[in-house]
Amino acid sequence: MSPILWDKVRRGLSAGRVQTVAVRIICEREEEIRNFTEEEFWNITALLKGHNPPSFEARLVKINSKKAKIENGGQAEELIENLKDTPFIVSKVEKKEVKRFAPPAFTTSKLQQEASRRFRFSANKTMRTAQKLYEGIVIGDEGSVGLITYMRTDSFRIASEALDEAREYILKQYGRDFLPEKARVFKSPKKSQDAHEAIRPASIAYKPEDIKSYLGNDEYRLYQLIWNRFVASQMNPALFDQTTIDITAGSYLFNTKGAIMKSPGHTILYTESKEENGEENGAEKVLPEISEGEGLKLLSLTPEQNFTQPPPRFSEATLVRELEEKGLGRPSTYAAILSTIQNREYAKLEKGRFHPTEMGELVNELLVKNFSHVFDVKFTASMEDKLDLIEEGKLTRDKTLRDFYTTFAPDLEAAKEQMRNVKREETPTEITCDKCGSPMVIKWGRNGKFLACSNYPECKNTANIATDSNGEIGTASEEVTDIICDLCGKNMAIKEGRFGRFLGCSGYPDCKNTKPLDTGIKCPEAGCGGSLCERRTRKGKIFYGCSRYPDCSYALWDKPLPEECPQCGHPFLVEKYYRGKGAVKACPNKECGYREGR
């Protein structure tokens, strides 16, 4: 299929059994987001007080035994008015002990997901770092020591010697209260290949803190994550006293839940990150001692306006989880798949989320239309099953290939003739070329759609496409700057290219002078004299590097801001993004640690 894409769209493109389905998943999620229509809804929260402190909040959950659905502010105000004089009575109190068990030691995909959530590591970076830990780190006089077991596995199996070592450590370090009667054994998924154990430390004796000085920062963090999770997996569960209270107010039902930790169990060493378990780690909501039939005093009623949210775009962690849950690919392939779809420019990561590119959506459309059966999630997952059956000797390779090619070969031949030839497509527009007056046409290039003069090759004028709020297409107006071209004297303009924004002469194509887009902030390297310029990696990620590269290799990922650090006097601050906080100004000097609002 890849040669067809080269012929019809662009050289260098590729199709892959799992890679293309991954792009399809990203594109279909984007379509869901585009088609999403937000809906308004309101929550009502009551602040209540019983005979015993403290006061507590409860949320309206049902009206007349049906799920509460409040669509606008008017309904919310009407309900509040009805509730003001209604007695609030405790109708049900349920108390129970809840156990929260530790997860098993890491498989490849789980390690990639957790490292992505905690450290913002890409799947590739996680695997590179794990490879170093596996191959060996020089530990003082001991020489090179392999610190972890093999990092490409989808099995939860652990060697009995390692289990005994972990249990001995837990008993000695934390005491019998933290040690289960028997070693915890986790059942591997049905489709897992059991050749390798789960990812664990090669020896508990190499505690992360003891060997920190021999490890790089990334290596230390990943090793500590693997070590802590493995040891925690053999510890007793955390115990909570969980209380659920139902409160009736006429035909309205309010509800609240709270949990108090009785025993921390494995959580003293390891707790899964918030995005995975959906709970705040260690968060406790204290409720008063309360009894059924008790009357409560209403302190306040608070209406809160909300809007339904579209499904989120995939992060590396959630895309790996999606592939794993659907049975697509193998542990060893996830990092490569995520890299390939970015290298092929089918998708790009923006603020940690995958966005399909125009090229990605085009290729997805062409492949799904012409090979819908091959790039179906169920087909791709069933292929994994067939490969396992071949390995087990329950299915033959020849029959599997023959069955596949019987339907695939005709589709392949048909695609060679019938698939859209994007290279040759020219969509007429009503836009006039400002160089020669000929009509402009829409064509496809390396960076997606662009406008080109129909009088090519006599006129080589091109322009970026802009779409207004009504969907009307026009030329993207270039932002002309005060910077003068040092070749012809005309003003430079901000342009968009394969590697992001840059300065190009407004006299193009007569003058083809270009420069990197300067932020105006001086490079902080002593004696450099350069300035920081906006650049973009091959994968489309923006960074800021010195204009004197390669003589000066200073670079940073965060956008520099022309403000001096109020704490240490560093010549500029940077714009960092934090989950739940958005953009925050911070000092790039690691020894300073200044962050706005801290």
Q: What is the DSSP string of 451-469?
A: EEETTTTT---EE-EEE-T
Question: Does pLDDT of 354 surpass 60?
Answer: yes
pLDDT of residue 527: 87
Our answer to whether residue 150 is catalytic in this structure is: yes
Out of 150, 169, 456, 594, the active site residue is 150
Of 340 and 449, which is predicted with more confidence?
340
Task: Provide the pLDDT confidence category of residue 469 given band limits of 50, 70 and 90.
Answer: low
Task: Provide the pLDDT confidence category of residue 467 given band limits of 50, 70 and 90.
Answer: low
Residue 318 half-sphere exposure toward CB, CA atoms < 13 A: 16
Most trustworthy range by pLDDT among 115-124, 468-477, 495-504, 584-593: 115-124
The CATH homologous superfamily to which domain 40-101+238-307 belongs is Topoisomerase I, domain 3 (2.70.20.10)
Q: Using CA atoms, how far apart are residues 301 and 60, in angstroms rounded to an integer? A: 10
What's the angle, vertex CA 455, arms to CA 454 and CA 459, rounded to 5? 120
Residue spans per domain, the chain:
2-36+313-418, 40-101+238-307, 108-233, 427-544, 558-598
Q: Using CA atoms, how far apart are residues 414 and 442, in angstroms rounded to an integer? A: 26
Same fold flag, 2-36+313-418 and 108-233: no
pLDDT of residue 276: 41
The CATH homologous superfamily to which domain 2-36+313-418 belongs is Topoisomerase I, domain 2 (1.10.460.10)
CATH class (in words) of the domain with range 108-233? mainly alpha
Lowest mean pLDDT among 46-60, 202-216, 535-549: 535-549
Lowest mean pLDDT among 42-51, 209-218, 434-443: 434-443
Average pLDDT over residues 152-177: 96
237: Cβ contacts below 8 Å, ≥ 6 apart: 99, 100, 101, 102, 265, 266
pLDDT of residue 550: 86
Name the pTM for this structure: 0.75
pLDDT of residue 285: 79
Of all residues in the chain, the percent with pLDDT exceeding 90 is: 63
pLDDT of residue 277: 39
Radius of gyration of the chain (CA): 30
pLDDT of residue 512: 85
Q: What are phi and psi of 233, to 5 degrees?
A: -65, -20
Q: Using CA atoms, how far apart are residues 183 and 233, in angstroms rounded to an integer? A: 9
Q: Where would I find the H helices in 101-198?
A: 108-119, 123-135, 160-174
Average pLDDT over residues 552-574: 90
